[in-house]
Chain A
Amino acid sequence: MPKIIARTGDDAVAEAMRQINPDVVAAYPITPQTEIVQFFSDFVANGKVKTELLCPESEHSAMSACIGASAAGGRVMTATSSQGLAYMWELVYIAASYRLPIVMPVVNRALSGPINIHCDHSDSMGARDSGWVQIFSENIQEAYDNTIQAVRIAEHANLLLPVIVTLDGFIISHAMEQFEILDDDTVQKFVGEYKPEYSLLDAKHPITYGPLQLFDYYMEQKKQQHEVIKSASSVVLQIASEFEKISKRKYELFEEYRMDDADIGIVVLGSASGTAKTVADKLREQGLRAGVLKIRLFRPFPAAELANSLSHLKALAVLDRSDTFGGLGGPVFEEVCASLYNYQFPDGHKIPAVNYIYGLGGRDVTLDHIEKVYRDLEGISRTGKINNLIQYLGVRE
């Protein structure tokens, strides 16, 4: 029977890892690492898992070890955060290009400088083009559920790609919430056994990972990656529906909250979605038709589905917890704008869309902030006029 327990997000993700019982976890053991690896190392020390835990001298080495272990045919996980992910960067690309199904929870925290340890999406957004599938979580339950589903998504025979599952630093990772934990057996059965097609340790069928491919083959290899990650959306949906059978919880590419008849809508990902939903409820009582679209799958970006879901809005705001400095706006805003631009509106119709950069370095995002966004949208939907395309939300002048 599933049980309701209270845990921090880090603890819940570590529990998921215990239930998955991967062959190898290679993770840097010191800050910016989070408690995920600390809790998991307790499970290893207490014999609760049969995982081989490697603690190399850096995240660069941790991801290198994950690549080696995964190429050897193991089910491999790691976890990181902030500077740790930044330090892994070149290996993150290599893991994806080798098509190694490594699963990595990322606790979203700010990048230096200035030095900061709090919630911010800059770290995983920095890896957005690396070829990893990226799934965002709103709360502890989702972080736990997404971690379990990630294993099946990564190892899906049509995919074989690494997967990042994110949870917001401190807000989810260190706060305690109740969530429903599945039985160990149920999770074990759900993830099943990983049967790799190739293994570096299979001396009877020697293979080589990491070829040199110059102008003659590199581009074909990249095209293969381009095509395979596009097909991840359908795999994510398939695994979600299998997961629903064991958990009774429904997951999709994104969640539409009161979007059906909405005039104004906010697109958001991560823990701020909850705040946006609360404000939408309140404004609905006042007669404002407010909706929220919470992105779950950020890579591959579900462009067509998302544009379709937004197509009836009169005004739209995208919330970004990171900036692209010199780009059009935040990374989510860029994706949403590109999605809408390519959506075939029947009458050449255009939805006014604005961007709010919020919550950088752990800056609190309050109900009032979100209400201001909706009020701005209400004005835009009435006048059709955008005064401020990109704003920092809750910043001092």
Chain B
Amino acid sequence: MPQEKGWKSLSRGGVILEPGNARDYETGSWRTFKPVVDREKCINCMFCWIFCPESAVIVKDDKMEGFNLKYCKGCGICAKECPKKAIEMAKD
């Protein structure tokens, strides 16, 4: 998390003045369990990528490459939706 501001430095009415600043909010800090993918089972169907509410599934060259743990909040949706049961939730 960036340094938290005091009331005097907040924008008027809490208006967000810089677009895209949700990036600064690292939802990874909420996590208790983290997803672990078994590359052997994965068929790169991208279900996990579609379902992840935090866009935390990393995809490169059409391949599922793991998770961005800065933002992965450990909700387990990817593990639940994976048709190959290739994702396991492990205690972080």
Contact = CB atoms under 8 A, between A and B. Distances in A.
Given A211-B14, A220-B10, A206 B4 contact: no
A217 B12 CA distance: 13
A206 to B, nearest CB: 5
B11 to A, nearest CB: 9
A209 B7 contact: no
A216 B4 contact: yes
A209 B10 contact: no
A221 B7 contact: yes
Given A217-B4, A220-B5, A208 B10 contact: no
Interface residues of A, number: 22
Given A217-B4, A221-B7, A227-B7, A160 B15 contact: no
Contact of A99 (B1, B5, B12, B17): B12
A31 B1 CA distance: 50
**Which one of B1, B4, B7, B19 has the greatest number of beta carbons of chain A within 10 Å?**
B7
Contacts of B1: 216
Interface in B29-47: none
Contact of B13 (A99, A217, A220, A227): A99
Q: Report whether over half of chain A's contact residues are helix, strand or loop; otherwise say mixed.
A: loop
**Which one of B1, B13, B17 has the greatest number of beta carbons of chain A within 10 Å?**
B13
Contacts of A97: 13-14
Nearest to A221: B14
**Which one of B5, B6, B10 has the greatest number of beta carbons of chain A within 10 Å?**
B10
Interface string A197-239: 1100000011111110100110011011001000000000000
A205 B7 CA distance: 23
B15 A207 contact: yes
B59 interface: no
Interface in A154-213: 160, 197-198, 205-211, 213
Contact of A217 (B8, B10, B17, B19): B10
B50 interface: no
A207 B13 contact: no
B12 A220 contact: no
A160 B17 contact: no
B15 A224 contact: no
A98 interface: yes
B7 A98 contact: no
B16 interface: yes
Contacts of B8: 224
A209 B5 contact: no
B7 A207 contact: no
A63 interface: no
Given A220-B10, A221-B10, A208 B4 contact: no
B13 A206 contact: no
Contacts of B10: 217, 220-221, 224
A224 B14 CA distance: 9
Nearest to A161: B13
Contacts of B19: 206-208
Contacts of B6: 220
Contacts of B5: 217, 220
Contacts of A220: 5-7, 10
Contacts of A99: 12-13
A276 interface: no
Contacts of A100: 13
Given A206-B19, A208-B15, A208-B19, 11 more contacts: A160-B13, A198-B15, A216-B1, A217-B5, A220-B5, A220-B10, A223-B7, A224-B8, A224-B10, A224-B12, A227-B7
Which 6 residue pairs spanning A and B have beta carbons closest together? A99-B13, A208-B16, A220-B7, A223-B7, A98-B13, A206-B19
16 contacts: A97-B14, A99-B12, A99-B13, A100-B13, A160-B13, A206-B19, A210-B14, A211-B16, A216-B4, A217-B14, A220-B7, A220-B10, A221-B10, A221-B14, A223-B7, A224-B7
Interface of A: 97-100, 160, 197-198, 205-211, 213, 216-217, 220-221, 223-224, 227
